[in-house]
Amino acid sequence: MAKLKIAGTWAGVLEVELDVWTVPMLREEVAKRSNCGPDSINLICAGKVLKDGDGNEKLSQLGVKNNAKILASRICAQDGKSEFMAEEERSSRLARVRAAATALAKRHADGSLPVEDFNIELEDQSGRQVQLGTETDQRAIMLGLMLHTNAKQLIRRKNYKDALDVLTMAEEAFSLCDPKVIELIDNPPILQIDMVWCYFMLRDISWLSVAGARLEKARKGIEQAHGKDSSRVRLLQGGRFPELALHLRLELLEGVVAYHSGQFDKSRKVLTSAQTKFIQLQVPDEALSLVISMGFKERDAKRALRMNNQDVGGAVDYLVEQKAKKEQKQEEDIQRKIEIMEQKKYGVTPLKKAVDLQRLSELVSIGFEKDLAAEALRRNENDTEKALDDLTNPETNSSIQLDIESRKRKRQQQKTDAKIEALVRMGFERSKVVEACQTGGSIEQVMQKLLTETASSHTDSTTNNNIQSEGIPAVASNDVENSSANDVGGPSTTGEVEDRDAEMEDELTGELANADAMSDYDIEITQEGEAVNEYLALLDSAGK
């Protein structure tokens, strides 16, 4: 009897007669132990998928030997109709992801007025805002980063097939960038590693040759971005080692590709190096407990210890720094939201760009009224010189002031009209609503006045109760607020708001908000360690 080491859907050792057992027999036995049907089990040995053939070929004839390692993976068996429906749904979602990411990148890279109350900006690992290349480069990088972030979420959920499709879209986005700009960032090479990781987790050997090329590209890209021997990263991170886990995964994948390509010496070399990194990244329980006892979360403590070569003092310093940076970032985000609300008040330029607040401050600092200066910049596409010409020309200056006053009256009228329509929808008589609104006040105040008048005229109390219980004031308030936000100087952004896929955009921006500069390096390395040991064992069993 020969022994086969099974891993994957079920892990253990099977005793078989290689000259008697066939692939269907092995598949059925593994499926039984995996609690699933034989049709849902895929078997891989030495990089080759074991196929049933004519059903009579013995395992020995297929090259399966004693102590061979068999990888068992589960595949979904679906009927044609449900499979078609699932594929349709999947394709539709991927199209939505791409469209939403493209729309967000366009709005937040070209200076357009954000539809939202936040702005997406490119930052380096230190959290500093950076300007990379042209507007086209900025847009391409933003698009690539959003798609890459979405793909990483899919990888965490073990949805590797969809993750590959999204990663492919992200790769295409990065390819639109100037190559010199791409060399400055490590996101594209990390994306290559993530793609090969998906191949590996899917146990898809058909991608073997592509995987090798991608890993070469990744190694070259990481060296360009991080510097030789990670010198640039070490400098930026104050001597810390954030990239170790990433290099562990890279070396594991290089070892796997080399193994399945028959390059056994190379495979053992890189796998041994990966094993050394895995050992180096093991966090001692004592050190972990000590850092957690200081009030930090376990995940954060592990990350900090790994980045600081298990040094407790360095880990604590890092965590304190990160906390301070996070608090500063929150303050900056609040300030940015305030600025965006101010920009919305001034409206958009003829090319639908927001008013540049820095240039506005410069004009205000030399004595011009803020609203007047903002309108001059809006009219002139944020060209300070042209705006100054308009502001210092008495005739043009007077015209701008008249326009501002006209728009203020228009905005006020729109607020009043929206208030009237909201109250009429609640059931109040239009003529009484119009009369009540003429005295001014918020929608709640006007509604209270109408209710008081209704009660005093002995109207049926049930009607009053129904009006009060509808709970529409919040909706009405939103209507008023939106009408004000959209009635701005210059072209309205209402059409853009209506067309956006808010649900998908919210999902993408939520993923960005939850990520941080170190998330690409913060890899839970358990699977990597198991895979390294697995392939080193394969090399040992083959005597390589």
Sheet with 12-16, edge to edge strand ranges: 12-16, 2-8, 69-74, 41-45, 48-49
Supply the pLDDT for residue 116.
63
Burial (CB count within 10 angstroms: exposed 0-12, middle 13-18, buried 19+), residue 444:
exposed
Supply the pLDDT for residue 277.
93
Please give the model's pTM, rounded to 2 decimal places. Answer: 0.63
Supply the pLDDT for residue 66.
87
Supply the pLDDT for residue 385.
94
Give the mean pLDDT of 409-419.
84
pLDDT category of residue 115 using cuts at 50, 70 and 90: low
Supply the pLDDT for residue 138.
85
Give the mean pLDDT of 121-149.
75
- The owner of tokens 């944020």 is 382
Supply the pLDDT for residue 36.
79
Percent of the chain with pLDDT over 90: 30
Instruction: Name which of 226, 223, 199 is nearest 211 in CA terms.
Output: 199
* Stronger pLDDT, 369 or 75, i.e. the higher one: 369
By the 8 A CB rule, do 191 and 222 touch? no
pLDDT category of residue 3 using cuts at 50, 70 and 90: confident
Residues in the chain: 544
Tell me how far apart the alpha carbons of residues 316 and 318 are, in angstroms, rounded to a whole number: 5
Tell me how far apart the alpha carbons of residues 4 and 59 are, in angstroms, rounded to a whole number: 11
Torsion of CA 105, 111, 115, 120, to 10 degrees: 50
By the 8 A CB rule, do 360 and 373 touch? yes
Give the mean pLDDT of 18-30.
88
Supply the pLDDT for residue 163.
92
pLDDT category of residue 383 using cuts at 50, 70 and 90: very high
Supply the pLDDT for residue 4.
86
* Stronger pLDDT, 497 or 474, i.e. the higher one: 497
* Stronger pLDDT, 15 or 227, i.e. the higher one: 15
Long-range Cβ pairs for the range 490-493 (8 Å, 24+): 490/347, 490/348, 490/349, 490/350, 490/352, 490/378, 491/348, 491/350, 491/352, 493/113, 493/115, 493/348, 493/352
Residues 6+ apart with CB under 8 A from 501: 96, 99, 100, 103
**Which of the residue ranges 218-232, 242-256, 288-302 would you say has the lowest mean pLDDT?**
218-232
DSSP states along 352-371:
SBBP-HHHHHHHHHTT--HH
Q: Residue 280 corresponds to which tokens in the numbers above?
A: 């180096």
By the 8 A CB rule, do 509 and 118 touch? yes
Supply the pLDDT for residue 196.
95
Under DSSP, the state recorded for 492 is -
270: left (phi over 0), alpha (psi -120 to 50) or beta: alpha
Give the mean pLDDT of 118-129.
58
Containing H/E element for 153?
Answer: helix 135-156
Q: What's the Cα-to-Cα distance from 27 to each of 45, 168, 439, rounded to whole Å?
A: 12, 33, 82
- Mean pLDDT for the chain? 81
Supply the pLDDT for residue 123.
58
Give the mean pLDDT of 390-400.
92
Tell me how far apart the alpha carbons of residues 301 and 294 are, in angstroms, rounded to a whole number: 10
Residues 6+ apart with CB under 8 A from 528: 245, 248, 249, 252, 274, 278
Supply the pLDDT for residue 484.
36
| pLDDT tens per residue, range 73-104 | 776 555 445 555 566 777 788 888 888 888 88
Supply the pLDDT for residue 453.
75
pLDDT category of residue 534 using cuts at 50, 70 and 90: very high
By the 8 A CB rule, do 476 and 443 touch? yes
Supply the pLDDT for residue 475.
30
> Which residues of 34-173 form beta strands (DSSP E)?
41-45, 48-49, 69-74
Q: How far apart are the first and last CA of the chain?
A: 24
Percent of the chain with pLDDT over 70: 83
Question: 131 pLDDT exceeds 90?
Answer: no
Q: 460 by DSSP, 3-state: which? A: coil
* Stronger pLDDT, 128 or 32, i.e. the higher one: 32
Tell me how far apart the alpha carbons of residues 191 and 250 are, in angstroms, rounded to a whole number: 11
Q: Residue 232 corresponds to which tokens in the numbers above?
A: 């640039």
Supply the pLDDT for residue 364.
93
Give the mean pLDDT of 29-58.
78
Q: Are strands 12-16 and 2-8 parallel, antiparallel or unpaired?
A: antiparallel
Question: 476 pLDDT exceeds 50?
Answer: no
* Stronger pLDDT, 50 or 125, i.e. the higher one: 50
Give the mean pLDDT of 167-193.
88
Q: Residue 230 corresponds to which tokens in the numbers above?
A: 């990670």
